[in-house]
Amino acid sequence: MQNGPREIVNPFRPIPLDVPEGMAPNEFFNSTENLNDLENNNGLLRNPENLLLYRKALGHSNLFDTSIIFNTSRCILDPLGRPVRRTQVPQNTRHVWNRMNQIIIDYMLEAFPDQEETLILAGEASLDATWPLTSPGVPSIRMLHNHFIAFDKQELRKAAIADPNNPNLTDGGQHSLFQSYMSETFREFFASLGLKILKIVDDDDSRIELTGYPNGLPSWEICGGSSSLKSIRFWREYDTILKGFIDFYRTFFTQVSTRNAPMPKDARFPVQIEDHLLYNNDFLATAKKVRNHCIRDAKYANAIRWQPAFKQLIYRNDNGKLIVTISQNSIGNAITELLGVVVKRAPDAEAYEKAEPRLIERLLEVRRRLIKADLGEGIKTKYWAKE
């Protein structure tokens, strides 16, 4: 069997929403009106922290697929002013979010116990508020949300090999900046952050053999497996990965933008930045290459996200271990592609409705566990009751 990224087709039931004339779809999808539809037609659970669990109407998988969104559509009307990463949400919200993550991941491991049969992942992609709403690659809902997805590996084995030049798989070529030119620097910087539960692993341990992804990214094994997800120490380290990545990213693109620039303001790890980045010749030489490329190539420069953009996820590898990885997110936002799974969504109500009962059964079981843990109250829709 040929290994490589896979492209699957996932049927969905067309959404009966009309985008107002003269409005781009992603502008409308960021509106309070659309979020009302998401909550009232697909909402599963909400809580006082403004976290909303919902069914993905345009899903990645009909085996299991749900998201939690930090629904700030009513309290922050400016889409460009909304939190776009965990480090920007209030502490009490993040605490509740972590507990919800732990319970949902635990359910996925229970419902899909065999790593040979099911690929499972949980994570998020940066919804970078520095881009105009109408720019290519900007996500359809500009609010921080997690994805929880399970893929049938048998379906993946049968699926067509995806185009390796798909921009979401390549991150527009900018992904290679970190991996090809600064791999050692990247890993040394993360190694200096004092992680205990997260243990860095090599590519062979992190890679899904079927797809060959993730490809060259820094990855960590969660020591202790799923039981560690119940520890606040793990979630602090998970956030440390993100904070470290943001410091690395900001430091690098600050140097790209301005030669010999000072350390970024509000850096979280100033000592590590000084020790491992600002006196690192490979790091600064790569920044010079990118700076010169930007000067002579307007299209390349326009594709860069000058502020931190990322994909970070937890997934189960071929040996049944839980792995954390993080990637620069220059263009695409589909988190599944970090593991080499490209999803082509196709409107097909009949095919979707065949899978819908079992999907909803699983989603309602997750909701039941969250309610039991005092993490929210159920939402009634035409597809399911409140409890």
Sequence-separated (6 or more) residues with CB below 8 Å from residue 151 = 8, 60, 61, 63, 118, 119, 120, 336, 341
| Beta-bridge mates of residue 319 | none
Q: Looking at residue 319, what is its pLDDT?
A: 96
Distance between CA atoms of residues 303 and 322, nearest Å: 33
pLDDT band at residue 234 using 50, 70 and 90 as cut-offs: very high
- Per the CB < 8 A criterion, the answer to whether 330 and 290 are in contact is no
In this predicted model, what pLDDT tens digit does every residue of 145-202 receive, in sequence order? 899 999 999 999 999 999 877 766 765 454 556 766 788 898 899 999 999 999 999 8
Other beta carbons less than 10 A from residue 40's beta carbon = 12
Looking at residue 127, its pLDDT comes to 64
**d(Cα 132, Cα 334) in Å, to the nearest integer?**
18
Q: How far apart are CA 141 and CA 266, in angstroms?
A: 28
Lowest mean pLDDT among 5-19, 168-182, 208-222, 336-350: 168-182
Torsion of CA 228, 311, 309, 289, to 10 degrees: 110
What are the φ and ψ backbone dihedral angles of 237, each rounded to 5 degrees? -70, -35
**Which candidate, 340, 318, 8, 304, places its Cα nearest to that of 175?**
304
Closest among 330, 1, 9 to 170, alpha carbons compared: 330
Q: How confident is the model at residue 267 (pLDDT cuts 50, 70, 90)?
A: very high
Average pLDDT over residues 350-361: 96
CA angle 117, 126, 121 (to 5 degrees): 10
pLDDT (0 to 100) of residue 172: 46
Region 365-374 average pLDDT: 98
Q: Quick one: what percent of the chain has pLDDT higher than 70?
A: 90
Q: What is the pLDDT, as a whole number, of residue 278?
A: 96
| Nearest alpha carbon to residue 341 among 120, 172, 136, 128 | 120
DSSP of 365-383, one letter per residue?
Answer: HHHHHHHHTTS-EE---SS
Q: Please say if the pLDDT value at position 280 is more than 80.
A: yes
Average pLDDT, the chain: 88
Higher pLDDT, 229 or 3: 229
Per-residue pLDDT tens digits for 299-320? 888 777 787 878 899 999 999 9
Q: pLDDT tens-digit profile of 100-151?
A: 999 999 999 999 999 999 999 999 887 655 555 556 555 556 778 899 999 9
Lowest mean pLDDT among 52-66, 221-235, 298-312, 364-378: 298-312
The fraction of the chain above a pLDDT of 90, given in percent, is: 63
Rounded (10°) angle between helices 232-257 and 183-191: 140
Q: Which is higher by pLDDT, 155 or 57?
A: 155
Burial class (CB in 10 A: 0-12, 13-18, 19+), 346: exposed
Report pTM: 0.92
Percent of the chain that is helix, strand, coil (3-state, to 5)? 45, 20, 40
pLDDT(376) > 70: yes
Amino acid 126: pLDDT: 73
Q: What is the pLDDT of residue 311?
A: 85
